[in-house]
Structure 1
């Protein structure tokens, strides 16, 4: 048996080929539908449109311009972009990570389109919740590098990692491409992201009025209109509307991968909330040294006595004798004709500012609510009072309206970093936490590929701390450069300079994760939850492309004798193998020395790699037998793949002997780089 070399262009050298997978699915369902045709001297698979019409009927197949749906100039190119495999890789950055050896969380720095492609083999069908807060279409320039010909090179240039620097096209309303540019950015990312969702997976997308309609059309096409779950309105968002109408809300569109699967799984009833609070109580009882004997009977008394302690050490911001409240809403009457009376402020004793249309409740009901401590007063009487909303207010459903002041997110970051206006309008942790708690159960994977300030990661960590479970997160953030001259970026740029980090948004994201995790540990020193993360960075492949020219053919051939980039480490190679062979980036890696050479077993032995730079004929036999012995010890489920450096074999004898011994012992998949 020969050792098969992984050449550039081979399936193991690039991300999943979604077009090939789609053709394979079609062929499995309708073998007669897929045929072949000649293209540039090659035989390639093709779909026979005539056969398609005969299978489903002529009237159901159309390429007409006038058809229902969303269309824009560039849509075909956007779809093509999504289906083009990536040849890039993700390089591990242990020094920038926290708890590398134990964490199951990922923070990936790179263009999210390329990263999503690279995650396909390892994470397809494994993500329970995708939350994204994409850049809103404000007429500013986009920084996402969608170069169809060479997206990795374009990304490296755009982020200043190689010489060049591409000019970013303007997206002003006057350009005529105000909506099309934004759609061409978001559409391919949604197409790829859908493949990562589990059957019961859910996607939540934050958006404002400018692109809500376009986004809903795009999501109907990508996820299916039948999988639309609903729209959540976040009331309390910052007004950014230049017209005479103050827009103080944003939207979260919610879609599922398969609504039938979600309906039976995606639930979080009031009983679930009670159970979660009881578990929290048991843990806190030991921590606080309480002598309460009956948990169920004494729960409310315990909360009343330890209200401040609970608020300090749980993920719930607000706890009182009535339980845990998650937010609030104004008690004004939405239309004229409400109840008019004075509500004295408990501190100033003066009447609080009354609502324009009066109160929603009559005065006796308001007095009952005040007596029950269901009413929230401001610091003084200058604010309209609000009513608390509790965990049990919604029986097994999310409310379509969430009331939460947008300033909460900024205040959280201001307190964490000690500076003002680090990010523009970051989402509050409480907003995402309330959504994630409803959807993401213990063990679930949460993905955010527009990570921004990193609110998603903090929300996941706080949920895990509350119930002691192990939800995981994957964040992706473009290392967009911060300019000290830009009024919206100068604070972030100054902070990065202060801590000695590159001036990019991704550096702020990572620092937020470090500080959020440290804060949780300070609040609870005995915390055993995962507050770490592994950092990876998008880069060109460790395998150099065959890029010969007529002028430099001889030098190209010499360079290609070893097509592994000499600047890359063994760790770089190992993690590219994980990606291209479909293994989790947090899978355990074991190392031992055999025949004086380090070998690595990944994922319990499903992948065994020796990346030493020299294997002589005399070393090939003991090395092969050592691999065989370790494989027996590990006893992995399924086939084993062994990988070596192609240039390491001193001659063909060393390569042939090693491959023959491995095959004799049942290891048939032997590859070389």
Structure 2
């Protein structure tokens, strides 16, 4: 009976296995950091075998930064973490298929690799824009100023700086690129072949992100730069004295351009003509600039259709099928439910994405039943939009929101209103949005719930001693290899992740002879974590012939009892895969 490994897959070893199928002669063995032998690549031999294809030395076109190799290694590195279920903070725990996950998104993406591999239809993220300050996400590859200076040659042999390393120097760009690179490598694995990813970004790292995306997804999978207006005519002012920043960019890439499932309809702009008539503030602003009605129309025409031929007047409906040669898409500011109003907080959140914008993106690439992931979820606009669209078209799209529980500043309106972290804001926003959508759409059925999970250390006890260092007291503590504060649900969902099953499916729990038996998704997995399980309960579980069965190691008094379990399943459920934790 095998044990569940209880850690994320080693992606580097997975890639080596793929190489071994093509170039078996290039695979050798090497000792890892733990001293154990494992497969490795003989790169000299591989380079020789590919000598006609590989650029040998010299210069090559590439985008790189200090820490890039470490970021790649970090993405492939396995971790011993788990997601702990929190039914008390969830809504409709038993029936919902939506997920809200609190924790560092790099580690969460690793934990989701097997359960959601190739299953996500759309990813939307709004990452930090890198405006010159340090980041919340400090990964293993994030360097100190001194480490950066030493590796990039910015200090002399005595350790003295050759020039002043201000906050505007390359270390900040390197940290940001590394942060994004590792996460995008993992995110790509989760996308379906016909899936898409949208990333909001401003001018600070726009060029860097485009190069990273070209490397991770491939230049041929670049679809569009979507220009999104973030203000009316005044916009957000920048430090440049004579310019006004009034737009951000959304980079749109596909997983596989040949498989892209995109609804080609005009989803880009609003018609400004009725807005000018109805919005007195906008009309007054235009008038204050000295523009008469004709000038206003011409200006709005330019804003709305900057790349559009003049012969198509703005009163006409623009069909993107007919004018697909345009190389950018303009999305003008959309109206939407303000989170400050929804949560009764006395301020708007800077950078909050428009609900209308998210609805347009969702309509363009998703269908009922699809999974949408946002791993920089912030105030959960994406989740709000998914529910709104489901109520509109009767779909059953599912969302996965991932957010670090970043504390709210004590002077912020959110903190004063009782929200201590961004996660608390996001969860409450989903609850209130679901209530409002239900009230606005009586009779419409949609999933307004979500299961909450929190990233935590593994459920298994840690052992760091060599054989000679064990004492009797240590051995007594190791009788049970599971941490004492962990529940049956903790163990159940860690098994699902380890076995590569989605964590959003229904399950039931029942009592059999004093043992709690969990049945997941109608028999995909049956688990019992009781100590010393009677043979009668083992036989009952086997008779149900689940696809998988899991027990804890201490469920059996001794090795003969464990062997007996294997024999019971061979006789009653020969196709069931049985493991222990």
TM bucket by the smaller chain? 0.7 to 0.9
Asked if 2 retains the 8 angstrom alpha-carbon contact of 1:583 and 1:603, the reply is no
Asked if 1 retains the 8 angstrom alpha-carbon contact of 2:340 and 2:349, the reply is no
Give the Å deviation of 1:88. Answer: 0.6
Equivalence for 1:597: 515
Equivalence for 2:363: 437
Equivalence for 2:236: 239
Of residues 14, 19, 42, the one that matches 1:26 is: 19
Give the distance between the partners of 2:348 and 2:475, measured in 1 at CA: 50
> Structure 1 residue 495 and structure 2 residue 417: aligned?
yes
> Structure 1 residue 404 and structure 2 residue 312: aligned?
no
Equivalence for 1:464: 390
Equivalence for 1:287: none
Equivalence for 2:443: 526
Give the distance between the partners of 1:214 and 1:559, measured in 2 at CA: 51
Equivalence for 1:540: 457
CA 1:667 to 1:627, structure 2 compared with 1: closer, same or farther past 3 Å? farther
Asked if 2 retains the 8 angstrom alpha-carbon contact of 1:200 and 1:257, the reply is yes
Q: When the two structures are superposed, what TM-score results if normalisation uses the length of structure 2?
A: 0.84
> Structure 1 residue 414 and structure 2 residue 321: aligned?
no
Equivalence for 2:470: 553
> Structure 1 residue 481 and structure 2 residue 407: aligned?
yes
Give the Å deviation of 1:52. Answer: 2.2
Give the distance between the partners of 1:266 and 1:253, measured in 2 at CA: 15
Of residues 280, 283, 287, the one that matches 1:353 is: 287
Asked if 1 retains the 8 angstrom alpha-carbon contact of 2:188 and 2:255, the reply is yes
Equivalence for 2:255: 257
CA 1:552 to 1:139, structure 2 compared with 1: closer, same or farther past 3 Å? farther
Higher helix share goes to which structure? 1
CA 1:246 to 1:569, structure 2 compared with 1: closer, same or farther past 3 Å? same
Of residues 179, 182, 187, the one that matches 2:181 is: 187
Give the distance between the partners of 1:211 and 1:56, measured in 2 at CA: 35
Deviation string for 1:162-200 (max 9, x for gaps)? xxxxxxxxx963454121111121110011101001111
Within 5 A, what are the aligned runs for 1:566-605? 566-605=484-523
Give me the CA root mean square deviation.
Answer: 3.3
Q: Secondary structure at the match of 1:205?
A: strand
Q: Secondary structure at the match of 1:475?
A: strand
Of residues 415, 423, 426, the one that matches 2:349 is: 423
Give the distance between the partners of 1:624 and 1:417, measured in 2 at CA: 50
Unaligned runs of 5+ in 1: 7-11, 150-170, 274-324, 333-342, 370-374, 376-385, 498-502
Asked if 2 retains the 8 angstrom alpha-carbon contact of 1:208 and 1:250, the reply is yes
Equivalence for 1:53: 47
Equivalence for 1:628: 542
Asked if 1 retains the 8 angstrom alpha-carbon contact of 2:338 and 2:348, the reply is no
> Structure 1 residue 81 and structure 2 residue 77: aligned?
no
Give the distance between the partners of 2:500 and 2:212, measured in 1 at CA: 29
Give the Å deviation of 1:20. Answer: 1.7
Give the Å deviation of 1:652. Answer: 3.1
CA 1:330 to 1:211, structure 2 compared with 1: closer, same or farther past 3 Å? farther
Q: Secondary structure at the match of 2:446?
A: coil
Q: Secondary structure at the match of 1:46?
A: strand
> Structure 1 residue 128 and structure 2 residue 133: aligned?
no
Q: Secondary structure at the match of 1:123?
A: coil
Unaligned runs of 5+ in 2: 143-164, 305-312
Give the distance between the partners of 2:55 and 2:89, measured in 1 at CA: 52
Give the Å deviation of 1:670. Answer: 2.2
Q: Secondary structure at the match of 1:614?
A: coil
Equivalence for 1:96: 89
**Count of aligned pairs between the two proteins:** 537
Of residues 268, 271, 294, the one that matches 1:328 is: 271
Equivalence for 1:644: 551
Q: Secondary structure at the match of 2:245?
A: coil
> Structure 1 residue 267 and structure 2 residue 263: aligned?
yes
> Structure 1 residue 68 and structure 2 residue 64: aligned?
no
